[in-house]
Homo-oligomer: A and B are copies of this chain.
Amino acid sequence: MFMQEILNEYRKAWSISYAISLLGWDLETYMPQEGAKARGEVFAQLSTLRREKIMQLKENVEKLRDEDLDDFGKGVKRVLSREIKYFLAVPKEIDEELNRLTSEAEIVWRQARKENNFLKFEPYLTKIVELERKIAEKLGYEGHPYNALLDLYEEGFTVSDADKIFSYLLPELKQILDKIMNDDKFPKKHELEDVEYNVDEMKKVNEEIIKLLGMPLTRFRLDISPHPFTVKISADDVRITTRYEGKDFKETMFSVIHESGHAMYELLIDKSLDMTPVGGGVSSGIHESQSRFWENIIGRSREFVSVIYPILKSNLQFLEKYDSEDIYKYFNVVRPSLIRVDADEVTYNFHIALRYEIEKRLIAGEIDVKDIPSIWNEFMEKYLGIQPKNDAEGSLQDIHWSQASFGYFPTYTLGNVVAGMLYHNFPTLKEKIKERDFDSVRDFLKNKICYYGSIYSPKVLLNRAFNEDYNPSYFVEYLKDKYLA
């Protein structure tokens, strides 16, 4: 009874979210430049409206009793309660302050990065960290204050979970990296990284890849934007973007595969959950497991390279002198590097560990924003044995902190960890890739993860699928199989 009322009323909030999603997509793809100002006003107004509509559900949600609910109902109650809790704890004024601050901070960050000048960004980041600490206090937490923020991106995930994962993962990765570096099976650099491509030809490659992966073209589209992203408009309308930088063709191709992984997650969710509070992917980490499974474990495999080799060859003339094995090597260059988004799958998690350590200390108040550059360099040296020449290739490289996304970075590593768990549980994966049987891959992912939307919290979802939650050992197993076999 309450449930039906909640679901009916929820459609208002859902419709507003739907509009916000489309407005966001349009902002990055087709909006005329000067439309930005009005768009900002609309985002603010619609967010406020949405908050109102969610808060109007409070009374009915509080009346729900677990004993009357099935799994779907419990999921609805859980997801709405979390959002209501956030709105009760964090008043509108703080959200608005954060929005104003981050829109300004993002512009300053861009300028500071251009000028290699951390000092310019420092006062903004200081205010953002203050506000994030305040939000953590308002939300409340057990144990570490950073837990309150981690939970916003990955429900139930804590500093103690993260510490356990990184303390296991980093020494293992270090060992694997050392072995790769002392060997020449995988190159440290590949000449194809510098080769330019024709954008129209590359578009054709990406379109053929999308078809090969089986993306449903009546429910999905690919556009161009400055930074690749995925957005779900509705269960039957999920969109991704890529960019064409003109050289190093694997970049745009892997962004298409990565975002297709995110899109696939949303497209495989039980359609009967659409327009309900549990109709979307459950967390950033679980989402990232899908994109990384497709991008890295499938996309960078020898089997996948063989499958797409004819597509590449027939569209990109400059590949004439390269065989399939050359392409495989080019896709799997391994080397310590300074920029996270360019990192390979072996070194990538060091970049995350570093950011995690800094965020944890900032939110605990153990370090100040001004200390970031020196701590950054210290960790880069310790983890990868290299140091940035300047802040642009150091602590100013990512947009996340200017957007106040504290707690987000660790979910990238969770994505790798869970992708490893999927790998371990799908022993016939390589056969399926060889046979171009991506339907079976999709069925596997759907049954394990995607179908349930947000009905179960991430840890419950993982336990249902694998009888354990975030276990990093399978990701290590995957890397060893691939790089040390």
Name A's B-contacting residues (CB within 8 A): 11-12, 14-16, 18-19, 22-23, 26, 30-35, 37-39, 41-42, 45-46, 48-49, 216-221, 223, 233-237, 239, 274-275
Chain B residues within 8 Å of A46, by CB: 15-16, 19
Chain B residues within 8 Å of A49, by CB: 12, 15-16, 49
A44 to B, closest residue via Cβ: B15
Q: In the assembled complex, how far is the CB of residue A12 from the closest CB belonging to chain B, in whole angstroms?
A: 6
Report yes or no: B42 in contact with A218, Cβ–Cβ below 8 A: no
Given known A46-B15, A49-B49, contact A219–B38 (CB-CB < 8 A)? no
Tell me the complex Cα distance, A37–B275, Å: 11
A13 to B, closest residue via Cβ: B45
Report yes or no: B23 in contact with A19, Cβ–Cβ below 8 A: yes
Report yes or no: A218 in contact with B19, Cβ–Cβ below 8 A: no
How many copies of this chain does one complex carry?
2
Report yes or no: A234 in contact with B39, Cβ–Cβ below 8 A: yes
Chain B residues within 8 Å of A237, by CB: 31-32, 34-35, 38-39
Q: In the assembled complex, how far is the CB of residue A422 from the closest CB belonging to chain B, in whole angstroms?
A: 27
Given known A22-B26, A46-B19, contact A38–B221 (CB-CB < 8 A)? no
Report yes or no: A45 in contact with B219, Cβ–Cβ below 8 A: no
Report yes or no: A11 in contact with B45, Cβ–Cβ below 8 A: yes
Tell me the complex Cα distance, A371–B44, Å: 52
Report yes or no: B34 in contact with A218, Cβ–Cβ below 8 A: yes
Report yes or no: B217 in contact with A32, Cβ–Cβ below 8 A: yes
One of B31, B33, B221 near A32 (C-beta < 8 A): B221
Report yes or no: A41 in contact with B275, Cβ–Cβ below 8 A: yes
10 interchain residue pairs of minimum CB distance: A35-B237, A38-B234, A15-B45, A19-B19, A34-B236, A33-B218, A15-B42, A34-B219, A34-B218, A18-B42
Tell me the complex Cα distance, A14–B39, Å: 12
Chain B residues within 8 Å of A223, by CB: 30
Report yes or no: B233 in contact with A35, Cβ–Cβ below 8 A: yes
Chain B residues within 8 Å of A217, by CB: 32
One of B23, B32, B45, B239 near A218 (C-beta < 8 A): B32
Tell me the complex Cα distance, A41–B12, Å: 10
Q: Can you give 19 A-B contacts (C-beta < 8 A)?
A: A11-B41, A12-B48, A14-B45, A15-B45, A16-B46, A19-B22, A19-B42, A22-B23, A30-B223, A32-B217, A32-B218, A32-B219, A32-B221, A34-B219, A34-B237, A37-B236, A38-B234, A38-B274, A41-B275
Chain B residues within 8 Å of A236, by CB: 32, 34-35, 37-38
Chain B residues within 8 Å of A18, by CB: 38, 42
